[in-house]
Chain A
């Protein structure tokens, strides 16, 4: 995996993903290791993102690496009209690896083709966000002991949510049964369902959240955004049907955990936060360990 860019979660095989998750476990036990003290990492955020950027910066800092880059395209040469290709080629001269977030779909793949140094995609438009997917996989494995044969419920905006798409695709490697809960207008796109069908796995679609909780191992919640609805009445009608509260998770199994890529708005009631079944904040912490694992694996240290 040395020097291998991570653009899309399907770039890595099941074995490679497992290796990364194992390595992340080591970092969870011992997060401060000066493995990147001789490395410079470029962090190029052409579009602002707080959570992902801070998580990467935290991972790099705990590994004693140095960071160069920008947090917003308006403070960079992009504003002057520089092409992505030119920015990447230039920054390649200054760094050993590039972490990038870009508003256009496919930007990270293009970047990986123009340079010889490895690229980590920290989100390209509505397309992929593979490090989020890695931390989701890590969180599922950690809480369930294994990724195999689980019943995973996905709730909310399953049409536009890129974290949902990546995680569904990744979980098809592990014999998952999928339970997809969404308003009719926000169902999982057929291109994603196709991955499930191609692996011969089962999925069930629901519009009602409550009936599926008792059989679930993992409930992956996402936010439903008002701007996704052409008809505001429709939004008002559905917005509260996908809010998880403490009472709803009472009939769940012992090992049941609630995940959320964050930021949360109101889709998980705050009364869930104190439940031992709430896992979303630990999930965010896991992001640092998987990013440490990814950076060190790609840089071969």
Chain B
């Protein structure tokens, strides 16, 4: 009997984010409001991966991400791969890296921080990247740390 397999089609123009942790798939979609867009979006979770055992994937047509958006994704899925496609050809493939600094996209955990009370864009230094401890964002203004589990995107 012929084995039938559902294959997600290749995209013509757009971006593939591969090797996401499955839990990060919906977080990334929500965070970047990909579900609000009119362009086709394919996503998968709990897929087999030689590298990680279990992975998620997102493919978005007609969309390329700005560095600021890439930074956001890297915080949620530090080991993901981003593949940019034009005319069915891969034009760029990059491993995401957790940035050293994050700005504007994350809220500071400290309610008394100036950034939560006046029109001040947030800026953080990323610390504890090495995963020995939980990753934290160190606010350059109030000097408090926001742990990864408490990250709230703006």
Q: List which B105-154 residues lie within 8 A (CB) of chain A.
A: 110, 112-115, 117-120, 139-145
Q: Given the complex of chains A and B, what is the CA–CA distance between A96 and B43 in angstroms?
A: 58
Size category, A interface: 10 to 19
* A84, A125, A127, A128 pick with most chain B CB within 10 angstroms: A127
Q: Is the Cβ of A106 less than 8 Å from the Cβ of B141?
A: yes
**Any B CB within 8 A of the CB of A104:** yes
Q: Give the size range of B's interface with the partner.
A: 10 to 19
Mask, A86-112, CB within 8 Å of B = 1, is: 000000000000000001111101100
Which A residues are in CB contact (< 8 Å) with B144?
Answer: 105, 191
Please, which residues of chain A bring their CB within 8 A of the CB of B143? 8, 105-106, 127-128
Distance in Å: Cβ of B123 to nearest Cβ of chain A: 9
- Separation of A167 and B121 alpha carbons in the complex (Å): 29
In the bound complex, do residue B119 and residue A106 qualify as a contact, i.e. CB atoms below 8 Å apart? no
* A105 CB contact (under 8 Å) in B113, B119, B145: B113
Of B114, B118, B140, B145, most buried by chain A (CB within 10 Å of CB) is B114
Q: Indicate if A142 sits at the interface (CB-CB under 8 A).
A: no
The answer to whether A106 and B113 touch (CB under 8 A), given A83-B118, A84-B118, A85-B118, is yes
Contact of A14 with B by CB under 8 A: no
Q: Which residues of A contact B141 (CB under 8 A)?
A: 105-107, 109-110
CA distance A105 to B110 in the complex (A): 9
Chain A residues lying within 8 Å of B145, measured Cβ to Cβ, are 191
Per the bound structure, the CA–CA distance linking A83 and B117 in Å amounts to 10
CA distance A34 to B83 in the complex (A): 66
